[in-house]
Amino acid sequence: MTVASGALPRLPRRVSIREVGPRDGLQNEAIILATDDKLRLINALAATGLTWIEVGSFVHPQRVPQMADTAMVCARLPRRSGITYSVIAPNVTGARRALEAGIDSVEVFLSASESHNQRNLNMDIAQSLRTVTAMAALLREAGHPFQATLSVAFGCPFEGAVPLERVLELCGHLLDLGIAQLTLADTAGMAHPRLIQQLGWAFHERFPRHRLRLHLHNAHGAGLANVLAALQIGVTAFDSSIGGIGGCPIAPGAPGNLCTEDLVHMLHAMDIDTGIDLHALIDCTRMLEHLLGREVPGQTIKAGVCTHLTG
């Protein structure tokens, strides 16, 4: 069947990408990179045209030993103009440490299911809401920008489908805190294109003044398909991880973030601008493979760049 070009969905002309590999990627690795190696990777990523890099998390080192040196990473970052360096924090103590580190932006978070929230944060959702409210007050008082992420918004590995109305209700609570942007996370890689569009449209109808960011995983191979579904409804901000490393460490069988270079390759092929130098990004992936001592899950580093893509 032939479809006229005018019938194709209109797509955004530009997309914003937040690189989460130095945090969400490395926290799921068995190997713990030295601080110097993390800084090498972050600095290389900063030279690709990325404008937002998540560099670590202020969580207890016994829970996530891979992030134990986040304060040192923050202290030694050679800041580049035009780049936001951010961290995540699970509680008020973490938020205070982030402020002390002088990081640009802090991400607060909780889960859309009780089971995942208990396993991830050791508290129920009601307790998490009180915690993020206290964190928001601290960050607002300091005049510091902060974001929020709602995990397992598209499905929980322990409870299955998460009711759409619960997701929207929690979104409302987070938006009421005055966050700069809300991210919905497919933490276990359970989303599919139709669900992406259903939840995305419902969010837009409920909160028309707020722009949405998506944090997608590739556990079931639907990552890029979900990006396309989101683009078709006007979403223009995404998280991704260099090499496709990472995943959800507490969700069985849920490895693999959306791969940054695969995402950029697809977007550039569709004439959607990212501001990112794809070839420089692939050089970063090669560096990452050397640091980890293994191949990464991403496909573009294996297949190469299509010859018509220069960005």
How far, in Å, CA of 100 to CA of 113, rounded? 31
The number of residues making up the chain comes to 311
How far, in Å, CA of 225 to CA of 243, rounded? 18
Is the confidence at residue 135, as pLDDT, over 70? yes
Region 132-151: mean pLDDT is 96
135 burial level (CB within 10 Å; 0-12, 13-18, 19+): buried
CB 151 within 8 A of CB 185: yes
CB 230 within 8 A of CB 200: yes
Give residue for tokens 């294996």. 302
How far, in Å, CA of 138 to CA of 93, rounded? 10
Is the confidence at residue 138, as pLDDT, over 70? yes
C-alpha dihedral sign at 93, 247, 47, 275: negative
Q: Give residue 2's pLDDT band: very low, low, confident or very high (50, 70, 90).
A: very low
Percent of the chain with pLDDT over 70: 95
Region 262-267: mean pLDDT is 98
Region 155-176: mean pLDDT is 97
Q: Which of 74, 156, 171, 248 is catalytic?
A: 248
Query: Identity (one letter) of the amino acid at 72?
Result: M
Is the confidence at residue 13, as pLDDT, over 80? yes
Helices (H), 142-259: 164-175, 193-206, 223-232
pTM value is: 0.95
Is the confidence at residue 113, as pLDDT, over 80? yes
pLDDT in tens, 38-67: 999 999 999 999 999 999 999 988 889 999
pLDDT in tens, 206-221: 999 999 999 999 988 9
Is the confidence at residue 173, as pLDDT, over 90? yes
Is the confidence at residue 168, as pLDDT, over 80? yes
What pLDDT shows up at residue 74?
A: 97
171 given a catalytic annotation: no
Is the confidence at residue 1, as pLDDT, over 50? no
Helices (H), 233-305: 260-269, 278-292, 300-303
Q: Is 273 helix (H, G, I), strand (E, B) or coil?
A: strand
Is the confidence at residue 7, as pLDDT, over 80? no
What pLDDT shows up at residue 256?
A: 81
What pLDDT shows up at residue 254?
A: 61
Full set of structural domains in the chain with CATH: 14-303 (3.20.20.70)
* Distant-in-sequence, close-in-space partners of 271: CB < 8 Å, separation ≥ 6: none
